[in-house]
Amino acid sequence: MCPIWSYILYDHMTYFLLLFLKGSANIVGLLSVSFLTNCSFSLFSMQNHDEIQEYSKDQYNDPNNLENRINLWKYGTNPISMSLWIYSKFKFQENQRVLELGSGTGKLWQENLPHILPNLEIILSDVSQMMVDKMKRSKLQGQNRRISFQQMDVQQIPFPDNHFDHILTCHMLYHVPDLDKALSEIFRVLKPGGYFYASTIAKDHLQELYRILQLFQLDIIQKNKKFSNFHIQSGLSRLQEIFPEVTVEYYENQVIVDESKIDIFMKYIQSMFPVKYFPEYASYHGGIREKLLQIINDEGEFPITGKSGILIAKK
């Protein structure tokens, strides 16, 4: 999921361009290091909007994909789940209006039901009607809370300017083809003084897994073209261009994969490579499993680290 390889490719292209333009080894050296660590230019313009949109639509038309991925982190070593951690960052007050975009199955709210202020007006939304229907059938429905559900695209939010006190996007902006449009829509419907929260992955999320996938001929660069560039580090730069105040906090979780968790982990990996886009994955699945089992036999376990965070912006 993490677009590491596209950054590396992009950074190298930038490096050679600078070499050509500046002709000074020192300047190029300094700038290339800054690109490798900062990745301040967006890959976004190089990517295919339709490809990103279609991939996301296909992924979330089947809620099992998301559930298989969430399932793995239940076995994490962090005693606080990501949903509880994210919720603890919100600055909600009685009677305020909250909009979540790309809510998925509504897991964040299901886990935090006891903490939800009864007078909050909450709209949970997703571009996928399937996800909206799933939320409507969940335990969120029928609670003594002001929660409603709506199909909505973050690139076109059907509300007037300055309407919401809080807007949330959790691990979803990297699925959005037109990030500029999405962020300008969020800014538009947020009240002055209101908060925008965006949780997302960090650049080195799942790094151990990417090292294994490299051994197989899976086309990670092709895969990363199906995502927009919105991880914590690039997201921070983008939000700082728009919002006067932005802060960031990190969340880490590690799953120690042993033989008992290998099948859960393999389901996770499989969900990253849908057959429609990666028909070749089927022929590597067995090999990846064997490689992981070999590491587990040799070393006793295979630790996998999830690194995420939350960006909190004030309008």
Cα atoms in the 13 Å half-sphere on the side-chain side of 115: 15
Name the residue among 101, 309, 276, 280 with its Cα closest to residue 189: 101
Contacts of 267 (CB under 8 A, 6+ apart): 68, 71, 72
Q: Which of 155, 200, 229, 271 binds ligand SAM (CB under 6 A)?
A: 155
Supply the minimum distance, in Å, between the C-beta of residue 108 and ligand SAM: 6
Name the residue among 99, 105, 158 with its Cα closest to residue 130: 105
If one asks whether residue 134 binds ligand SAM (CB under 6 A), the answer comes out as no
User: Hey, which residues does 95 pair with through a beta bridge?
Assistant: none
Supply the minimum distance, in Å, between the C-beta of residue 212 and ligand SAM: 22
Name the residue among 223, 190, 168, 229 with its Cα closest to residue 11: 229
If one asks whether residue 176 binds ligand SAM (CB under 6 A), the answer comes out as yes
- The Cα 14–Cα 17 span in angstroms is 5
Beta carbon nearer to ligand SAM, 96 or 199: 199
Beta carbon nearer to ligand SAM, 18 or 272: 272
If one asks whether residue 186 binds ligand SAM (CB under 6 A), the answer comes out as no
If one asks whether residue 66 binds ligand SAM (CB under 6 A), the answer comes out as yes
- The Cα 226–Cα 218 span in angstroms is 14
Beta carbon nearer to ligand SAM, 28 or 83: 83
If one asks whether residue 154 binds ligand SAM (CB under 6 A), the answer comes out as yes
Q: Which of 28, 39, 123, 131 binds ligand SAM (CB under 6 A)?
A: 131
Query: Where along the sequence are the contacts to ligand SAM (CB under 6 A)?
Result: 56, 60, 66, 101-104, 107, 126-128, 131, 153-155, 170-172, 175-176
